[in-house]
Amino acid sequence: GAGVSQSPSNKVTEKGKDVELRCDPISGHTALYWYRQRLGQGLEFLIYFQGNSAPDKSGLPSDRFSAERTGESVSTLTIQRTQQEDSAVYLCASSSWGQGSYEQYFGPGTRLTVT
């Protein structure tokens, strides 16, 4: 079946502009995660959604970052007033409780460049 999809695949924006990144999880997956990967580094957790529970926002680096998810479907990550240090690949992953939370399936990522 279809995997996790993300859009856009690449985004170039000017410093100070807002950007919105989209993630479509695998159908039926109740858990959705956002991570950030800076050049040459590992993945950094941002936020986690599980069903109708309150999201775990503990990884969001500042109040310029926010994310939403409607039910068990699409999620959007919004970065307001982008800064150059926000340049990174933003990865989304989803998992199913039936399989155990360790099986996180990743999308291809959105490469964000802030000029």
Partner 1 sequence: QKEVEQDPGPLSVPEGAIVSLNCTYSNSAFQYFMWYRQYSRKGPELLMYTYSSGNKEDGRFTAQVDKSSKYISLFIRDSQPSDSATYLCAMSKGGGNKLVFGAGTILRVKS
Shortest distance, position 62 Cβ to partner 1, whole Å: 18
Q: Identify which of residues 75 and 104 has a Cβ nearer to partner 1 in the complex.
A: 104
Judged by the rule CB under 8 A, the positions of this chain that interact with partner 1 are 4, 31, 33, 35, 40-45, 48, 50, 56, 58-59, 91, 93, 97, 101-109, 111
Q: Identify which of residues 59 and 76 has a Cβ nearer to partner 1 in the complex.
A: 59
Shortest distance, position 8 Cβ to partner 1, whole Å: 14
- Residues 90 and 8: their CA atoms lie apart, in Å, by 11
- Residues 94 and 107: their CA atoms lie apart, in Å, by 9
- Residues 91 and 38: their CA atoms lie apart, in Å, by 11
- Residues 31 and 41: their CA atoms lie apart, in Å, by 24
Shortest distance, position 27 Cβ to partner 1, whole Å: 17
Q: Identify which of residues 43 and 74 has a Cβ nearer to partner 1 in the complex.
A: 43
